[in-house]
Amino acid sequence: MHRVMFELFGMEVRTYSLAMGCAFVLATVMFWRRSPREQIDPNFAFNLAILCFVGMLVGGRVMYVINTWKENFATADRTSWQVFLETLKMWQGGLVFYGGFFAATSFVWIYCRVKKQAFLPVADLLAPYIGLGLSVHRSLGCYMNGCCFGEPTTLPWGVHFPLDTQPTREWGIETAVHPTQLYMAFNGLFLYLFLRWFRQFKRGHGEVFALLFMLYSIDRGLIEIFRGDKIRGHVPMFDLFYLAIFVAGLILWLYARGMTPRRKWAEWTGMAIFLGAGAVGLFGGAGSDSANDVTAATPFSTSQYLGFFTFAAGAAVLYYSRFFGQRVQPEYGTLPEPEAEPPPAARSSSPA
């Protein structure tokens, strides 16, 4: 563990921030180089990468603040101004992936609408590199920072953290814990490799992005079993009601899409239902009491709860892409042919 990588002109350069920057640069370069092969303008792709980065920072921080408000921010010894300043210190760690992921997706969707660009082909292009950036940041950032740690284990790859760290304060210096940061890093690498391989077989735009939703929610849900930071809490039983409404809205929306003739009012109704339930579930469930003093709590952590929404949304996008979305053209994945130059005789001929 090494929270501060080095000092530059008297200022600390933290490993968490440096890893985030490295993940962004690597993913952006590879995303930008791939964009011409998927018939997307590289300049447009670069703008998308910037929006993703901003969305991950803003959304991830907002979700973290909501999720840990009572424990880390709303303490009695701080004024309102001090609390506000504390919420901005994201370079010290404190980002929730789901919050950043949803915010980045929203920013990209809005930008595509403004530029009149189809969203799903762009989302498919982005999907593998989200996994790549996640892999770099979890391994170098979270692991070196000591956050996102696991519960005690006797397995040979269990790790011990230094004295002044949260894992040690939680479990003791002599207790080895699961390196869940590395589990999530390998999960990100798996997502990158699998989605990069799968994109050559997709039949409709949006399938790669949908698989990112579904696979990440499953893998993350399994890793959550081994998480040891107790602040994660459990979701109240009542919050599962929002999940049921969310799924019902998705089903209504997809059913309305397949109706002949199409009934726009039914589509808009379904969309309003699942967006409303998703928003309440996202902020209400994430803000559930992480101190676990709720009376009727589920065994699911906040991340697992949000994963249920993510999986349902991914399944809906996959179904939509297969049956209603834009078809993949035969030339997909190949560079566009350069325009043929006129023959020399045509170029040299000019009116006298």
Element housing 18 (H / E): helix 15-34
Contact by Cβ (8 Å): 103, 58: yes
Within 199-290, residue ranges assigned H as helices are 207-224, 240-257, 264-280, 286
User: What is residue 285's DSSP assignment?
Assistant: I
pLDDT in tens, 322-350: 888 888 877 777 766 665 566 665 555 55
Asked if the peptide bond before residue 156 counts as cis, ω within 30 degrees of 0, the response is no
Per-residue pLDDT at 290:
44
Contact by Cβ (8 Å): 95, 19: no
Question: pTM for this one?
Answer: 0.83
Query: 243: Cβ–Cβ under 8 A, 6 or more apart, which residues?
Result: 277, 281, 305, 308, 309, 312
Q: Please identify every stretch of the chain with a pLDDT value under 50, giving residue numbers as ranges.
A: 287-294, 352
Per-residue pLDDT at 95:
75
Q: Measure the CA angle with vertex 143, ends 141 and 145; round to 5°.
A: 65
Contact by Cβ (8 Å): 32, 42: yes
Of the CA atoms within 13 Å of residue 277, those in its CB half-sphere come to 24
Instruction: At 75, list the tokens.
Output: 């303490």
